[in-house]
Amino acid sequence: MAERVLITGARAVAALDIARSLRAAGYEPHLADCSPAWMARASRTAAHVHRYASPVARPAAFARDIRGLIARLDPVCIIPTCEEVFHLAALAEADDFSDRLFAPPPDRLSTLHAKDRFALLCRRLSLPVPDTTVVADRAALAAFPGGTADHVFKPVWSRFGARTLVAPAPSELAGVAPSTDAPWVAQRRIIGEEVSFYAVCHEGRIAAFCAYGSDWRLPGGASYVFRPLPADQTARLRPLADALAAFAGTGQIACDAIIDADAQPWLIECNPRATSGVHLFGRSAAFGRALMGCGEVEPVTGARHLSSALWLHGLPTALRDGRLADWRTQRRRGCDAVAAPGDGLPVLGALVDAAIFGLRALRTGLPLTEVMTTDIEWNGRPFEPD
pLDDT tens, residue by residue, 240-263? 999 999 999 999 999 999 999 999
Q: Which is more confidently placed, 341 or 221? A: 341
Maximal CA-CA distance, the chain: 63
At residue 91 the predicted structure's pLDDT band, cuts being 50, 70 and 90, is very high
pLDDT given for residue 386 in this prediction: 65
Give the whole-angstrom CA distance, residue 98 versus residue 41.
27
Average pLDDT over residues 48-59: 96
At residue 355 the predicted structure's pLDDT band, cuts being 50, 70 and 90, is very high
Q: What percent of the chain has pLDDT over 90?
A: 76
Which of these, 133, 82, 126, 90, lies nearest to 108 by C-alpha position? 90
Q: What percent of the chain has pLDDT over 70?
A: 99
Q: Which residues are bridge partners to 185 per DSSP?
A: 134, 154
Residue 358, burial from CB neighbour count under 10 angstroms (0-12, 13-18, 19+):
middle
- 57 near 375, Cβ under 8 Å? yes
Least-confidence region, from 12-21, 57-66, 140-149, 357-366 = 140-149
- First vs last C-alpha separation in the chain: 35
- 225 near 310, Cβ under 8 Å? yes
Give all strands (DSSP E) within 95-192, no chain letters. 132-135, 151-155, 165-166, 184-188
Half-sphere exposure of 78 (CA within 13 A, CB side): 28
At residue 294 the predicted structure's pLDDT band, cuts being 50, 70 and 90, is very high
Nearest-10 crossing angle of helices 106-113, 84-95: 160
Give the whole-angstrom CA distance, residue 149 versus residue 281.
39
At residue 220 the predicted structure's pLDDT band, cuts being 50, 70 and 90, is low
- 58 near 32, Cβ under 8 Å? no
Q: pLDDT, tens digit, for every residue of 150-166?
A: 999 999 998 877 788 89
Give the whole-angstrom CA distance, residue 287 versus residue 314.
29
Give the whole-angstrom CA distance, residue 229 versus residue 267.
16
Helix (H) or strand (E) holding 208: strand 205-213
Which of these, 50, 77, 46, lies nearest to 65 by C-alpha position? 50
297 contact partners, CB below 8 Å, separation of at least 6: 207, 208, 281, 284, 286, 287, 289, 290
pLDDT given for residue 192 in this prediction: 95
Mean pLDDT over each residue of the chain, to the nearest integer: 93
- 299 near 278, Cβ under 8 Å? no
At residue 265 the predicted structure's pLDDT band, cuts being 50, 70 and 90, is very high
Give the distance from CA 216 to its chain's centroid.
17
At residue 382 the predicted structure's pLDDT band, cuts being 50, 70 and 90, is confident
Residue 246 three-state SS: helix
Residue 150 three-state SS: helix
At residue 171 the predicted structure's pLDDT band, cuts being 50, 70 and 90, is confident
Average pLDDT over residues 326-333: 90
Q: What is the phi/psi pair of residue 155, to 5°?
A: -65, 145
| 174 C-beta neighbours (distance < 10 Å), count | 12
Q: pLDDT, tens digit, for every residue of 3-49?
A: 999 999 999 999 999 999 999 999 999 999 999 999 999 999 999 99
Average pLDDT over residues 55-64: 96
Average pLDDT over residues 131-138: 90
Q: pLDDT, tens digit, for every residue of 110-133?
A: 999 999 999 999 999 999 999 999
Which of these, 357, 359, 367, 381, lies nearest to 163 by C-alpha position? 367
pLDDT given for residue 107 in this prediction: 96
pLDDT given for residue 173 in this prediction: 85
Q: pLDDT, tens digit, for every residue of 173-217?
A: 888 888 988 999 999 999 999 999 999 999 999 999 999 999 888
Least-confidence region, from 70-74, 162-166, 219-223 = 219-223
